Chains A and B, each alone.
Chain A
């Protein structure tokens, strides 16, 4: 049944993004003899040709918890937290117990985008683009972009804080290992926890575990929040025929959240408008 559903999802059109085949540049002479004195065209051609050796992550990736919810495993072991954050996390669990439904403590209902790693765990898909020296991740939810530098440059010591932080990556075989620092301290490192220190470090190990199933193991480290590194695993189902859509949260947002995490819902409207 699952396969049937997946084939239904794949039924529309055949569109393949060629991460490994669509980037090649043509030039009259691959040796670069017809290029400039600096040899730049040949270097560029080689850089693009090298992308063909990377694993095929083309297409669009949907969180597997939506694509095939029956296959999902149970929740991960609870995090080991410092007292301050343990209290916050316990209050969140208690609120979910007494008010059924998911209670978010972060600001996303007000259209403030998720920071890393929450941005990677939204219900809508992501895609990967390979260019020389860089992997780009486009996240549909909130139309976010992550730029992961794979050119060997180091992480800056004090990057300007941002929602997605500053990332570098390296290939270990067919696994992309991404390290990120400089994530804004007001973002949520884990559902139920709002805020962290400027020391939050995220390490992601991204690899294919089946031809159309991608796995991301995400490790969170922050001495202010976590007593030990905390790793969760998320899986993503490939849809070769999907395209990433535009997502502008402010277009028609009638949801909100107050400073206590209580949700609001605006139903004001003039009929007939």
Chain B
């Protein structure tokens, strides 16, 4: 309950545009099309609540019924954990939509900006500027 309140309050606070400059801890963001959002929907295969980054792996129906695996890096538990996210935010089998910055090399993945949960709630995953 408290987590949900925090998430809701965070969304009110942080409703708007993303910070231009990347703030992730320990590596370049040049491999992503940073700032250009795309979306993909699928079923969570694994949610990794790990340092130095979280990862969400989803299965996405591809052409001809073949399931493709997509992988998205996210901010660390150090950042997400203080803003309403937790080990239990996502679980295997959850049907989600992932908004992300794509990999420039065209592989199925990128950096996740927010995740839209099965109940329709959108959880932000990057620092944002209030306006």
Which residue numbers of A lie inside 8 Å of B, CB to CB?
1-2, 4-5, 8-9, 11-12, 65-66, 69-70, 99-104, 108-109, 111, 122-125, 140-142, 239, 242, 245-249, 251-257, 261, 263-265, 267, 269, 271-273
- Contact between chains at A249 and B52 (CB < 8 Å): yes
B94 located at the interface, meaning its Cβ lies under 8 Å from any Cβ of chain A in the complex: no
Known contacts A265-B103, A271-B59: A1-B130 contact under CB 8 Å = yes
Residues of B within 8 A of A251 (CB): 50-52
Known contacts A247-B76, A247-B78: A100-B53 contact under CB 8 Å = no
Query: Nearest A residue to B19 by beta-carbon distance?
Result: A69
- Contact between chains at B107 and A102 (CB < 8 Å): no
Within 8 A of A (CB), among B105-119: 107-109
- Contact between chains at A271 and B57 (CB < 8 Å): yes
Query: Nearest B residue to A263 by beta-carbon distance?
Result: B28
- Contact between chains at B27 and A255 (CB < 8 Å): yes
Residues of B within 8 A of A239 (CB): 82
Min CB distance B24 to A, Å, is 7
- Contact between chains at A253 and B31 (CB < 8 Å): no
**A-B CB proximity, top 8 nearest:** A109-B27, A101-B30, A252-B50, A263-B28, A255-B27, A101-B29, A5-B13, A124-B78
Identify which of A65, A109, A254, A257 gathers the most chain B CB atoms within 10 Å of its CB: A254
Residues of B within 8 A of A245 (CB): 77-78, 81
Query: Nearest B residue to A60 by beta-carbon distance?
Result: B82
Query: Nearest A residue to B72 by beta-carbon distance?
Result: A267
Residues of B within 8 A of A261 (CB): 28
Residues of A within 8 A of B6 (CB): 8, 11-12
Q: A253-B53, A271-B67 are in contact. List 16 more A-B contacts (CB 8 A).
A: A5-B13, A69-B19, A101-B29, A101-B34, A122-B25, A123-B79, A124-B25, A124-B76, A124-B78, A141-B25, A247-B76, A249-B52, A251-B50, A255-B52, A267-B108, A269-B69
Within 8 A of A (CB), among B62-84: 67, 69, 71, 73, 76-79, 81-82
Residues of A within 8 A of B24 (CB): 123
